[in-house]
Structure 1
């Protein structure tokens, strides 16, 4: 909360630019850079992809958006109805957006669901949890990416809630975590 938008986005974008600019020294292929994250981290990944597209920044090969928080308006069915779900629920989402946005208005770089044009973005994998206030905005964003001509894989995990994959003893969590790694490996292969 001490550093509201755009501080985190500026930091994340600076990391992307530095990584791409130092690819040789890092021993990485600058054509195989992905961005990704969970929840607010997925928001940052989507926003970095938007900024890189709009400002002709470093090429991003793939975006991995796991249970993304993309829309500050919170007007989807899941945002309105999941008010008492485990760990993360509407009031926490509202507080998170208030802290992140600070006194400023939401822009597409703060809340990527507000972007009017999603064309030209990197291919994406979007994972949502059934009982997550963010579920519908993630699904809607994925459909909008598809309509904009962006290749997207969407996986909706039944019976899960926001952050439930941290319960490592649960079989569904093990499958979710394994899939995230496999998706990233496929996206960055050769």
Structure 2
């Protein structure tokens, strides 16, 4: 099996990480432990929750700077968690920063999790939240012609799938997609997916996440491309893309390949790979590499918003 080196500063933090193989027995434990310590939230941003689909428990949280006026660009966010964990609360801190800094409205979606809800349920929840945001743009103070989407890890996979679904359905025009270390390929056929010393989200955990999400589809050739975007044959007509991933991330190779294929399909795409960075490197905010990871992504967002005017 292949191995990969992690940068020294993160090696020292490894004992603090929630590690080990994810499986059915550990799922409840994982869901009961926050991915990181919740930060103190800003009074400068107002957060309001809206029920999108009461029957399925789909809720979106709208973040907007207090006192901001007019129709603003919107960034629609999908949280990570391997398709089996996480919550839209994970987006609170980033929108506390982005809303005042970039003059946007942030919308984060609470979608149902696997294995209780398998594909296509979580993706349809994300689409329902996006369509609701578009339909209620005037009430929310959102410019419906300036909507982009973002997601990290499984949220990045759902983000890529949502871009494909929005293209196919033709109901909501998207201007950009930020794919942060996206979980794209259920087949686990790349060299990086087989790395044996991953410090975050190892190959066994990855297999479990996909099994939960796909159910009986897992391991077959019948997995739709909106379930695993790496399987999509046609990537044309998608919004401009930013793809970032660590060099010590099991998703490295599938993410690099997807970015190259986007570019080959005529989609303006920017790709960043950070040597030695593990999955989720951005949470180690005290480290230079995490700061660079965040700054590069935010610089691209700034340029996208400037392009939209």
TM category (shorter chain) comes to over 0.9
Give the 5 Å matches for 1:1-190.
1-80=115-194, 82-104=195-217, 105-189=222-306, 190=309
* Distance of 2:204 and 2:190 partners within structure 1: 14
**Which protein shows a greater Rg?**
2
Runs of 4+ in 1 over 4 A off after TM superposition: none
Q: Report the aligned-residue RMSD.
A: 1.0
* Distance of 2:264 and 2:228 partners within structure 1: 19
Q: How many residues align?
A: 189
Please give the TM-score of this superposition, normalised by the length of structure 2. 0.60
* Distance of 2:196 and 2:205 partners within structure 1: 9
Greater strand content: 2
Residue 162 of structure 1: how far off its partner (Å): 0.6
* Distance of 1:118 and 1:13 partners within structure 2: 18
Residue 156 of structure 1: how far off its partner (Å): 0.4
Please give the TM-score of this superposition, normalised by the length of structure 1. 0.96
* Distance of 1:120 and 1:77 partners within structure 2: 29
Residue 173 of structure 1: how far off its partner (Å): 0.6
Residue 88 of structure 1: how far off its partner (Å): 1.5
Residue 129 of structure 1: how far off its partner (Å): 0.6
* Distance of 1:11 and 1:186 partners within structure 2: 29
SS in 1 for 2:216: coil
* Distance of 1:170 and 1:102 partners within structure 2: 38
If asked which structure has higher relative contact order (CA below 8 Å, sep 6+), I would say 1
SS in 2 for 1:63: strand
